[in-house]
Amino acid sequence: MKQRLAILGVVITCAGIIAPASTHTHAQTYPTKPVKLVVPYPPGGSADILGRAIGQRLAEQLGQPVVVENRPGAGTAVGTEFVARSQPDGYTLLLGTVSSHAMNPALSTKLGYDPIKDFAPIAPVATIPFVLVLHPSVPVQTVKEFVDHAKSRPGTINYSSAGNGTSNHLAGELFNLMAGINMTHVPYKGSAPALQDLIAGHVQAMFDLVPTSLPRVQAGNVKAIAVTSGSRVPSLPNVPTLKEAGYTDYEVTAWFGLFAPAGTPPVIVSRLHEETTKALASSELNAKLGSLGMETMQGSPQSFSRLVANDLDKWRGVVKAAKIQPE
């Protein structure tokens, strides 16, 4: 009996030694095949641009392709739930956003995923301000004129977004609340089709991310009257902030970050965090993103997790104040 217990003790001890060694080896060899990066938006939008830029850099560093897969729909919920239900092995990642992890969950109780429990945060990647753009036919040039115009025509001004619960949806709802106007929300499956319908004149306004609207502003397809950041955007130096326009408490930016499914081995999360931090330190990537109106972010998985939780609380408050009924 004693001999059997001794043998059992040796087996347990060896297992304790082998397991960490095996995990360490797995981290060293990861990845051994292509990594899928899910972007919960259609091609052509800011998230897609960012996902492909960071994916290309990570592929060079990891030595394996990082394949961007667009899975739009339900205000980011389709792609986000897909990743939440994927194997937690480091080969399916999500370019999550303030929409997927704070705004959409604040607005809907039927997403099919929990933004906190179902994910392992890896690293924040970038933050992007919005620009309030209008169709050229709207007879205003300033925020004050636009608010006066909207108040004189309650319920007739439509604004587009990338979908229910997305960042440009709630950016518009927050502006409704602060300006005392009643723009009607028209959701689309992504910012690209939402912007196209604004250009076509089917809607009158949109809070779009700077990178996707910038070429259209420069071409005269839409007109920019304000940005949502705390200070002016270098690529749109003549466009005032909403703070400058008198809405001193209005500041909304969209953050983007990498997530893995909950249960992904910590050593893989750590490796991905290190490689993401390295990629974001690249002057070439910073210059590319900066030229598009994006600002890179830095942070640990722990601080990123706190950001997600804090923003979820913030946007739940906005949804409640705006009396938007959760779906």
- Over residues 124-133, the pLDDT tens digits come to 999 989 999 9
Query: Binning pLDDT at 50, 70 and 90, where does residue 191 land?
Result: confident
Q: In 10 A of CB 202, how many CB atoms?
A: 13
Average per-residue pLDDT in the chain? 89
* Cβ density class 24-55: b for 16+ within 10 Å, e for less: eebbeebbeeebbbbbbbbebbbbbbbbbbbb
The token pair that represents 63 in the structure block: 């030595």
DSSP state of 183: P
Helix (H/G/I), strand (E/B), else coil: 201: coil
Alpha-carbon gap, residue 267 to 264, rounded angstroms:
8
Could you tell me if 217 and 206 are in contact, meaning their C-beta atoms sit under 8 angstroms apart? Answer: no
Global confidence as pTM: 0.78
Answer yes or no: is pLDDT of 144 > 50. yes
Q: Where do the domains of the chain lie, and which CATH numbers do they carry?
A: 34-128+254-321 (3.40.190.150), 129-227 (3.40.190.10)
Q: Which tens digit of pLDDT belongs to each residue from 282-326?
A: 998 888 888 777 889 999 999 999 999 999 998 898 888 878 776
